[in-house]
């Protein structure tokens, strides 16, 4: 299974970036092989509006089935829902810890966004 | 002739100046309250509202039968208001700036326009002064299309006075663009001056002549006057910080109707503006 984890760096040992839309990087990790692709999210970091929508579209295109992040706002959540990507929010620590947790089934999926939209 | 009353800093007296100038000139003048986020000029002009219209802004509507999910629509949208995920097209109306770009680039002709409610526009009059204001829907963040709609109602044959919103961003530009003159209302405080400078720079970019009204002119410091001199901004009127003026304002009464000597001063203010506009049109 492919999991998208927001990250401050390009490694599995990097810290999880609590932001989704404007995260520094998003790592697309294969939970079986632990092979991953680090996506540079700088275009969205500087987006004028709708960074979350764009990031959600991007990870869906990459085939991620789950997003693991700190905060996910309403527009990003709606986009992920439409794309069939499940969300695990309130994630912190290292990217690898998050991946391990989901492999072991120790996560709960969010039914709603956990952050208000902003202007 | 369009005179837009702006300030940079809020609460300096834009509405006081614009409504009093309108009342001083009286019948035949037209007043547009373009501070659509919190219109308040009606409290002083007390117009009788004759009709109200709903204002909408176009947003895209996608015909999924025709859509091939090519994503040209989402690629052109600078505001990420439209996105395509796994054979679904999502539209975020509150992000859409109604540019129509998605409709133009759609190769299938799958996008048409529908409307999103922005607010309302009110038409009225009092003693021969034509009055129009816009009122943004609560929760709506996009005011420029509504401001443009209010301005589209302006009668080019009349003297049009616009009460602009504060600040220097898009809503203010929408309320100043194309005006013949921008009257800046400021107060002689460091905060007032700071924001005035931003507003003056904005007006310069728009190429519109401007002048100053210094309200509560005897408070703060004198920096604004030195700045006006350096910038060659004419100070067209000063209003002292007077209790009786503040009291009248707080009760929704106008200065020109309460204190007749001020009627003359506001007429004079208008004539100074008229002279500047005329001089400019003969030199251009």
- Does B16 touch chain A if contact means CB atoms closer than 8 Å? no
**Which residues in A58-112 belong to E strands, given as ranges?**
66-68, 86-88
With a pLDDT cut of 90, the percent of chain A lying above it is 87
Distance, CA of B152 to CA of B179 (rounded, Å)? 12
Shortest CB distance from A60 goes to which of B80, B85, B141? B85
Query: Above 90 in pLDDT, residue B86?
Result: no
Measured between beta carbons, the chain A residues lying within 8 angstroms of B92 are 50, 53, 75
pLDDT at A115: 83
- Does B276 touch chain A if contact means CB atoms closer than 8 Å? no
Q: List pLDDT tens digits, range B2-36.
A: 999 999 899 999 999 999 999 999 999 999 999 99
Range B149-172 average pLDDT:
96
Shortest CB distance from A78 goes to which of B74, B84, B90? B90
- Does A83 touch chain B if contact means CB atoms closer than 8 Å? yes
CB of A83 closer than 8 Å to CB of A106: no
pLDDT at A43: 87
Q: List pLDDT tens digits, range B43-82.
A: 999 999 999 999 999 999 999 999 999 999 999 999 999 9
Measured between beta carbons, the chain A residues lying within 8 angstroms of B74 are 57
DSSP B30: E
Q: Which fold has domain B64-109?
A: Alpha-Beta Plaits (3.30.70)
Q: Which helix (H) or strand (E) holds B184?
A: strand B181-186
Q: With cut-offs at 50, 70 and 90, classify the pLDDT of residue A118.
A: low
With a pLDDT cut of 90, the percent of chain B lying above it is 94
Measured between beta carbons, the chain B residues lying within 8 angstroms of A51 are 80
Can you state the angle between helices B14-25 and B260-283, rounded to 10 degrees?
90
Q: List, in order, residues 6 or more apart from B232 with CB less than 8 Å away.
A: none
Q: Which residue's entry shows tokens 């679904």?
A: B88
Q: List pLDDT tens digits, range B225-261.
A: 999 999 999 999 999 999 999 999 999 999 999 999 9
Range A82-111 average pLDDT:
95
Q: Which residues pair with B237 in a beta bridge?
A: B213
Measured between beta carbons, the chain A residues lying within 8 angstroms of B95 are 49-50, 53, 75
**Pairwise CB contact (< 8 Å): A57 & B92:** no
Backbone φ and ψ for A17, nearest 5 degrees, come out as -85, 125
Shortest CB distance from A53 goes to which of B78, B80, B88? B80
Q: List pLDDT tens digits, range B123-144.
A: 999 999 999 999 999 989 889 9
Long-range contacts of B66-75 (CB under 8 A, 24+ apart): B66/B108, B66/B109, B66/B110, B67/B108, B67/B110, B68/B107, B68/B108, B68/B110, B70/B107, B70/B108, B72/B102, B72/B105, B72/B106, B72/B107, B73/B101, B73/B102, B73/B105, B73/B106, B73/B111, B74/A57, B74/B102, B75/B105
- Does A41 touch chain B if contact means CB atoms closer than 8 Å? no
Backbone φ and ψ for B224, nearest 5 degrees, come out as -65, -35
**Can you list the domains of chain A with their CATH numbers?**
2-103 (3.30.420.130)
User: Predicted ipTM?
Assistant: 0.86
Query: Above 70 in pLDDT, residue B284?
Result: no
Q: Which residue's entry shows tokens 């609590």?
A: A18
Closest CA of chain B from A97, distance in Å: 29
**Pairwise CB contact (< 8 Å): A82 & B90:** yes
CATH 3.30.70.20 residue ranges of chain B are 64-109
- Does A45 touch chain B if contact means CB atoms closer than 8 Å? no
Backbone φ and ψ for B232, nearest 5 degrees, come out as 55, 40
- The residue of B90, B94, B96, B99 whose CB has the most chain A CBs within 10 angstroms, and thus the best one to mutate to test that interface, is B90
Side-chain-side CA neighbours of residue A97 (13 Å) = 10
DSSP secondary structure string, B232-252? T--EEEEE---HHHHHHHHTT
Q: List pLDDT tens digits, range A10-53.
A: 999 999 999 999 999 999 999 999 999 999 999 888 888 899 99
Residue B110: alpha-carbon gap to chain centroid = 36
CATH 3.40.50.300 residue ranges of chain B are 2-52+119-283
* CA nearest to A59 within chain B: B85
Q: Which residue's entry shows tokens 């800093």?
A: B9
Range A87-114 average pLDDT:
94
- The residue of A83, A87, A117 whose CB has the most chain B CBs within 10 angstroms, and thus the best one to mutate to test that interface, is A83
Query: Above 60 in pLDDT, residue B84?
Result: yes
- Does B62 touch chain A if contact means CB atoms closer than 8 Å? no
- Does B80 touch chain A if contact means CB atoms closer than 8 Å? yes
Q: List, in order, residues 6 or more apart from B271 with CB less than 8 Å away.
A: none
Query: Above 90 in pLDDT, residue A116?
Result: no
**Pairwise CB contact (< 8 Å): B83 & A78:** no
pLDDT at B168: 93
Closest of A78, A99, A106 to residue A7, by C-alpha? A99
- Does B81 touch chain A if contact means CB atoms closer than 8 Å? yes
pLDDT at B245: 95
* CA nearest to B89 within chain A: A82
Q: List pLDDT tens digits, range B177-235.
A: 999 999 999 999 999 999 999 999 999 999 999 999 999 999 999 899 999 999 999 99
**Pairwise CB contact (< 8 Å): B85 & A49:** no
Shortest CB distance from B78 goes to which of A48, A53, A57? A48
Q: Which fold has domain B2-52+119-283?
A: Rossmann fold (3.40.50)
């Amino acid at each position: 299974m492919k999991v998208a984890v927001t990250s401050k760096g390009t490694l599995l040992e990097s810290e999880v970036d609590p932001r989704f839309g404007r995260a520094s990087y998003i790592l697309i990790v294969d939970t079986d092989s632990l092979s991953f692709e680090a996506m540079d999210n700088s275009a969205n970091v500087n987006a004028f509006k709708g960074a979350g929508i764009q990031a959600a579209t991007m990870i869906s295109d990459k085939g991620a089935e789950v997003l693991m992040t700190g905060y996910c706002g309403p527009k990003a959540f709606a986009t992920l829902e439409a794309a069939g990507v499940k969300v695990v929010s309130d994630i912190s620590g290292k990217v690898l810890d998050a991946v391990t947790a989901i492999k072991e089934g120790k996560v709960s999926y969010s039914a709603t966004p956990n952050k208000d939209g902003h202007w | 002739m369009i005179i837009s009353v702006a300030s940079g800093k809020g609460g300096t007296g834009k509405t006081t100046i614009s409504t009093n100038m309108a009342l001083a000139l009286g019948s035949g003048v037209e007043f547009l309250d373009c501070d659509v986020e919190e219109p308040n000029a009606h409290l002083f002009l007390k117009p009788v509202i004759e009709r109200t219209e709903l204002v909408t802004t176009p947003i895209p509507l996608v015909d999924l039968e025709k859509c091939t999910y090519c994503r040209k629509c989402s690629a052109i949208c600078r505001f990420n208001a439209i996105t395509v995920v796994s054979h679904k097209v999502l539209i975020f109306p509150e992000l859409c700036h109604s540019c129509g770009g998605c409709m133009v680039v759609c190769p299938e002709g799958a996008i048409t326009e529908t409307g999103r409610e922005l607010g309302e526009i009110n038409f009225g009059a009092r003693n021969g002064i034509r009055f129009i204001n816009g009122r943004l829907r609560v929760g709506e963040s996009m005011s420029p299309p509504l401001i443009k709609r209010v301005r589209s109602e302006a009668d080019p044959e009349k003297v049009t006075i616009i009460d602009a919103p504060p600040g220097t961003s898009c809503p203010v530009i929408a309320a100043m663009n194309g005006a013949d003159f921008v009257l800046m209302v400021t107060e002689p405080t460091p905060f007032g001056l700071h924001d005035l400078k931003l507003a003056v720079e904005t007006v310069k970019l728009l190429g519109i002549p401007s002048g100053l009204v210094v309200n509560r002119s005897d408070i703060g410091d004198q920096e604004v006057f030195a700045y006006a001199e350096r910038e060659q901004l004419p100070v067209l009127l000063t209003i002292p910080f007077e209790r009786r003026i503040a009291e009248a304002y707080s009760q929704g009464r106008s200065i020109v109707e309460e204190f007749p000597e001020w009627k003359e001063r506001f007429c004079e203010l208008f004539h100074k503006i008229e002279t500047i506009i005329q001089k400019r049109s003969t030199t251009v």
